[in-house]
Structure 1
Amino acid sequence: MAKRVVVDPVTRIEGHLRIEVVPENGYIKDAYSSAQMWRGLELILRGRSPDDAWMFAQRTCGVCTTVHAIASVRSVENALQLEIPYNAQMVRNIIIAAHALHDHIVHFYHLSALDWVDVVSALKADPHKAAKIAESYQNWKLNGAAVFKAVQDKLKKFVESGQLGPFASGYWGHPAMKLPPEVNLIAVTHYLQALDYQRKADQAIAILGGKNPHIQNLAVGGVSTAINPDNEATINMERLYYIKQLLEEVRDFVQNCYLPDVLAISAFYKEWLQYGRGVDNYLAVPDLPQDTKGETFDLPGGTILGGDLSSAKAIKSFNDPYFISNVAEDISHSWYKGSWIRHPWDEDTDPDYTGMPGGYVDGSGKYSWAKAPRFKVNGDYVPMQVGPLAQVLVGYALGHEATKKWVDKSLDLLKTILGVIGESSEGVDVNALQSTPGRHIARAIRAAMLSDLAIKQWEQLVDNVGRGDLEIYNPPSYPKGVIKGCGFHEAPRGTLSHWCVIENGVLKNYQEVVPSTWNASPRDSKGQMGPYEASLIGNPIADPEKPLEVLRTVHSFDPCIACAVHMVDPEGEEIVKVKAL
């Protein structure tokens, strides 16, 4: 067996993920993605009331809570073909946007930026030079030599004390790190500032949702968020205007700090725009519904095949058969009984752990708790990459106005920064986003769009309430017999769908096909790699003992393995001890 580099567990993600790569002559020749936990929620939900499913489903993850709640109620509403009051749609949309803004900010600064930023190098920076560099590419109110000097002094105390806290165990000084000290200092400063702005997004969610994480205000048929401008016990105008204030502050940070930072770091690592493409079939679903039936949306969805933007095909509604009929999951290399590919409504969840003989993936057996979602195209099942990159590419290809505005604006700024640092901008176009840094750029572009759209949803809610419409709930009624529903949502990590089969008002089957299952999937029966695996092939790896480049590409997807799988021991016994570094 070829020599393996094993990263287990991958840190700065949610859940337990193992990545194996085979290096050869300084590049990655082969790769395997193995989810190391089992999700049992599908079994827990069987036999329960559909009204309660969303409360259980949002426990799929401690991070991606609202997204599972939204997808769950939509699946039941889809089965019932239930219309949702306009106010309820807007309340949900504000929560969706705020959650994504929180998630995208945290992902870049706190989970993945440290793959590119050498924190200790920031001690060598000149704060005045850092201020001039920052001013050259962004208009952010909390920049300045004094601010950067204060952060540098704080960082110096961390280093001298030997207590690096969240910056401990990093690959500082790694040969793949190449940012100037001043840019490192800018990034560390914004890392700390981002902690405050992600919290503001969370506050907006908590006000509307009752708490966060695990919101309490959803219901099949709408929301329980009572709205009355003249009642202090409900969401009134004072609360609504405070939500708007929070959203405006987050928008300022996203558009004037986060997006420019991503573009600046991408410019300094321009060579990485050729690495990490992997699976270039893309899938996104539309979101932020603008009507009661889910037929018009503020965010576009669709597919792109083979990386060819001219192949874009739209997904148009919550009932679009193009999506609902073509999703399937393959378990050929997953730890479940059997070897099949099935539509989610026809799946079962029967765990069968066989381990990895020899301690490594051998390529022929089963090696992951994640299933392998696939999309049916012309009779064949193909892997799809999901996430902000997919939505941005689909939106751009379909001519979505906001997407085109922010993509073009971002590419122009990227080219400007490249010119300032003496790099050529040749080849820097929308297709360059199909890369490791491109996933970060697309996520920041999506955040910029959502920061505008969050305010739009707020304005529409306030306007509608101002006209006297206070309706928030359409009660469901369950018929006898069997009905089936699909609820989808474009979550921060990509296309999320919940699938329910309801018989006589009780859940008979329930399946979740989540973004990190699409992206972290093992090989399927045809040997087709999932996006994590495919994106690693051909990437450089300077030091196999410190596989920083592996982390860069895997982190660019923002893995959430707790969403893909959950660990369950029916006997209540301890399963594993994990040492936190």
Structure 2
Amino acid sequence: MVVQTPNGFNLDDSGKRIVVDPVTRIEGHMRCEVNVDDEGIIRNAVSTGTMWRGLEVILKGRDPRDAWAFTERICGVCTGTHALTSVRAVEDALGITIPDNANSIRNMMQLNLQIHDHVVHFYHLHALDWVNPVNALRADPKATSELQQTVSPSHPLSSPGYFRDVQNRLKQFVESGQLGLFKNGYWDNPAYKLPPEADLMATTHYLEALDLQKEIVKVHTIFGGKNPHPNWLVGGVPCPINVHSTGAVGAINMERLNLVSSIIDKCIEFNKNVYLPDVIAIGGFYKNWLYGGGLSSQACLAYGDIPENPNDFSPEQLYLPRGAIVNGDLSTVHDVDVRDPEQIQEFVDHSWYEYAEKGKGLHPWDGETEAKFELGPNLKGTRTNIKEIDEGAKYSWIKAPRWKGHAMEVGPLARYIVGYANGHEDISDQVNGLLRTMDLPVDALFSTLGRTAARALESEYCGRLQKYFFDKLVTNIKNGDESTANVAKWDPSTWPKEAKGVGMTEAPRGALGHWVKIDSGRIENYQCVVPTTWNGSPRDSQGNIGAFEASLMNTKMERPEEPVEILRTLHSFDPCLACSTHVMSPDGDELTTVKIR
């Protein structure tokens, strides 16, 4: 049966059903089902979040100054971004301002996270959707070296001997029968288009990125004490500055500042010499594979982030853009107000929750988190062994957030489309330069490749911004300003009896918001709407499909039983179901009880 959704997609569930469960490569624990017609084209898509998040329930009654430490554990990949959003929400509620140095350090930590997450995403979570490491065994190392020097002549690791050594290591994996990192791929699928030399070059950079990523996160350990889950502080940042210290625990001295500076330089060099050239080179072999656009040409949302000055989140102060695009009208970028109950609402008509009033959308300040696991009458299988989900009923642990009723895409591509449409100079220059280099029209942005390229461009941009805020911090220190926290309102006796606030950021995966209500010094209600909640949402009360589902529509599959194309597009969002959902038992039983004394 063919059904047209209000946001313009024709869903046909009559074809062969393909189930991918889980959709993952390290991250992305979700289920996806599609219907494919006789020509191998996807005509219906269903995205299911398979775990339940309970952080909203856990936080009720707790001290709001501690909320960051709980929300940060939502995910171990996007370390710190939930903590940043949480402290901002509490500061907004209580009217707490932060010093300029704290703003620079927070910006550096967030920008560092963006770079780390984008590098890890492309090389370790997404590249193998395009790159065939087994095919790299057929490569000529000398020709690979020549390709490397053509793609990126400044990269120092480019000799034939270097690539021959990597090829020999890879050969040992294959000949042992244990592919290790590269296991469970559809390596003979014709969807892979790279020549052997490009496969060897990209596989080599996969291994280089493994070494780099452990260096990048040292910025978080310096400013936050550890990684993952660095320390944060309502009112600023927890690290004191003492440039004359040589061993003070936790203090930021010159040795640590010099280390931060060197890491920033490494990130900038890797983006320049490896990441961006690889995306351009690999993308050149897939220029005709422009599937996966989904909502990106129709409806994009960004909250914006990286403020120039502390405590000022007006759009003109943000280096990452804020705005919304709807109905495919790129000539108009709408203002976004996350406090407006008519702008942001969450629906649960197809989610495993229930509201007191059915069919209603709730603003997060009034949000409810009441689990209700039930399966529809057209389910195939059993409660604990689902063969095919019934999307006409409830089918996901993810809620369905909407902006003024619109399903939205969030993430690096959404940020870059909003910025490009709004005339953001840095973003426009990057995008135009990439399109010229690859000889592609602007419309090519609205695709899986566009989503992947936007992430690489943003990594390069964030490297430059990180350098800018590092220099700003050092200048302040040289001028005698070493303040990193404002604790004037730390004591709950200074708080109003009732307060509410919201914190926002642009997480690597997209728009992230935390909303908090405080009553008598304790959390009354806490709601997180995370990027994968936006992108991975099920249908809403009007039948609109979310960004994941929309992105798969009309994609041509080479071999439906080997769903490379599904993985390719869903991985381009970098789905983080750990953020949007958390675990419960199949039958809803209590898993454990923890007593805190």
| Alignment match, 1:501 | 517
SS at match of 1:342: coil
Checking the alignment, whether the CA contact within 8 Å between 1:276 and 1:539 is kept in structure 2 is no
Letter in 2 for 1:523: R
**Distance in 2 of aligned mates of 1:68 and 1:324:** 22
Q: Which of the numbers 251, 261, 264 marks the counterpart of 2:278?
A: 261
Residue 83 of structure 1 and its aligned partner are, at CA, apart by 1.4
After superposition, the C-alpha distances for 1:514-537 in whole angstroms (9 at most, x for unaligned) are 000100000000110000000100
The residue type equivalent to 1:412 in the other structure is R
User: Which residue of 481, 487, 493 maps to 2:497?
Assistant: 481
Per the alignment, residue 572 of structure 2 pairs with 556
| Residue equivalent to 2:213 | 198
AA in 2 matched with 1:290: E
Partner of 1:334: 351
State how far apart, in whole Å, the 2-side matches of 1:349 and 1:34 are: 18
Please, what TM-score do these two structures have when normalized by structure 1? 0.92
Correspondence for 2:424 among 384, 400, 405: 400
Equivalent residue, structure 2, for 1:362: 390
Q: Distance in 1 between matches of 2:291 and 2:99?
A: 46
AA at the equivalent of 1:451: G
Map 1:375-414; keep pairs closer than 5 Å.
375-376=403-404, 381-414=405-438
1:118 and 2:168 aligned: no
Contact kept? 1:439, 1:557, Cα under 8 Å: yes
Of 71, 74, 82, the match for 1:68: 82
In structure 2, do the counterparts of structure 1 residues 201 and 307 end up closer, same or farther at CA, with 3 Å as the change threshold?
farther
Distance (Å, rounded) in 1 between the aligned partners of 2:212 and 2:335: 34
Amino acid at match of 2:371: P
Q: Deviations over 1:14-40 (max 9, x none)?
A: 252000000012100000000000000
Whether the 8 Å CA contact 1:324–1:486 is kept in 2: the answer is: no
SS of the residue corresponding to residue 133 of structure 1 reads helix
Shift of 1:88: 0.5
C-alpha offsets along residues 173-229 of structure 1, whole Å, 9 cap, x if unaligned? 10111111111011101000011111121111111110000111x111111110111
Instruction: Give the corresponding residue for 1:156.
Output: 171
> Does the CA-based 8 Å contact 1:314-1:398 persist in structure 2?
no
Contact 1:13–1:555 (CA under 8 A) maintained in structure 2: no
Cα distance, 1:186–1:544 mapped onto 2, change above 3 Å: same
Q: Which amino acid aligns with 2:181?
A: P
Aligned equivalent of 1:227, options 232, 241, 255: 241
1:325-371: CA deviations, max 9, x gaps? 51111101000024331100111100011135323222310000000
Q: Which amino acid aligns with 1:402?
A: D
How far apart are 1:298 and its partner, in Å? 2.1
Cα 1:499–1:106 shift into 2, 3 Å:
same
Q: 2:570 corresponds to which letter in structure 1?
A: V
Q: 1:433 aligns with which of 445, 468, 485?
A: 445
Residue deviations 1:498-523 (CA, integer Å, cap 9, x gap): 01011122100000000001000000
For residues 224-253 of structure 1, give each alpha carbon's deviation from its aligned partner in whole angstroms, at most 9, with x where no partner exists: 110111122110111101111011011100
Q: 2:542 aligns to what?
A: 526
Task: Return the alpha-carbon distance in structure 2 between the equivalents of residues 414 and 99 of structure 1.
Answer: 28
Shift in Å, 1:480: 3.2
Which whole-Å deviations, capped at 9, do the CAs of 1:133-159 have from their partners, x for residues lacking one? 222222322223222111111111111
Displacement of 1:542 in angstroms is: 1.6
| Residue pair 1:328, 1:373 contacting (<8 A) in 2 also | yes
Q: What is the distance in 2 between the residues matched to 1:78 and 1:500? A: 9
Range 478-487 or range 28-37, more displaced:
478-487
Residue 19 in structure 1 maps to residue 32 in structure 2: yes
- Letter in structure 2 aligned against 1:289: P
Aligned-pair CA distance for 1:396: 1.6
Write the deviation string for residues 530-558 of structure 1: whole angstroms up to 9, x where unpaired. Answer: 00000100001121211111101100100
Relative to structure 1, the CA distance from residue 437 to residue 13 in structure 2 (aligned partners, 3 Å threshold; closer, same or farther) is farther
2:150 aligned with 1:141: no
CA pair 146-313 structure 1, distance change in 2 beyond 3 A:
farther
Aligned to 1:29: 43
Q: Which runs of 5+ in 1 are unaligned?
A: 416-427, 575-581
CA distance in 2, matches of 1:126, 1:104: 29
> What does the per-residue CA deviation read over 1:416-464, in whole Å, with 9 as the maximum and x for residues that have no partner?
xxxxxxxxxxxx2333111001000000000000011111110011111
- What is the percent sequence identity of the aligned residues? 47
Are residue 294 (structure 1) and residue 306 (structure 2) matched? no
The match for 1:343 is 363
Q: CA deviation at 1:64?
A: 1.8
Aligned with residue 372 of structure 1, among 393, 400, 410: 400
Q: Could you say what the CA RMSD is over the residues aligned between the two structures, in angstroms? A: 1.7
CA contact (8 A) 2:56 2:528 kept: yes
Question: In structure 1, what is the Cα distance between the partners aligned to 2:506 and 2:456?
Answer: 15
Q: Which residue of 513, 522, 525 corresponds with 2:529?
A: 513
User: Does the 8 Å CA contact 1:54/1:72 hold for their aligned counterparts?
Assistant: yes
SS in 2 for 1:308: coil
Contact 2:59 2:523 in 1 (8 A): yes
1:106 pairs with 2:120: yes
In structure 2, C-alpha distance between the alignment counterparts of 1:363 and 1:568, rounded to whole Å: 21
Aligned equivalents of 2:528, 2:421: Cα separation in 1: 28
Distance 2:328 2:122 in 1: 24
Instruction: Give the structure 2 partner of residue 82 of structure 1.
Output: 96
The SS at the match of 1:341 is coil
In the alignment, structure 1 residue 457 sits paired with structure 2 residue 457: no
Equivalent residue, structure 2, for 1:578:
none
Closer, same or farther in 2 for the Cα pair 1:430/1:241, shift >3 Å? farther
- 1:262 & 1:505 partners in 2: Cα distance? 49
Q: 1:365 to 1:336 in 2, by over 3 A?
A: same
Q: 2:141 aligns with which of 118, 121, 127?
A: 127
Q: Quick one: distance in 2 between partners of 1:175 and 1:15?
A: 24
Aligned mates of 2:219, 2:262 — CA distance in 1? 9
Distance (Å, rounded) in 2 between the aligned partners of 1:8 and 1:81: 45
Shift of 1:274: 4.3
Q: Distance in 2 between matches of 1:237 and 1:410?
A: 38
Q: Which has the higher helix share?
A: 1
Superposition deviation, residue 307 in structure 1: 3.5
Q: Check the 8 A contact 2:375/2:390 in 1, yes or no.
A: no
Q: Which residue of 1 aligns with 2:188?
A: 173
Q: Give the Å deviation of 1:278.
A: 3.5
The number of aligned residues is 553
The AA in structure 2 aligned to 1:440 is: T
User: Taking structure 2 as the reference length, what is the TM-score of the superposition?
Assistant: 0.90
Unaligned runs of 5+ in 2: 1-13, 381-385, 593-597
1:19-65 Cα distance to aligned partner (Å, 9 max, x none): 00000121000000000000000000000011000000101112122
SS at match of 2:331: strand
Question: Residue deviations 1:307-338, cap 9 Å, x none?
Answer: 332122355xxxx5677751111101000024
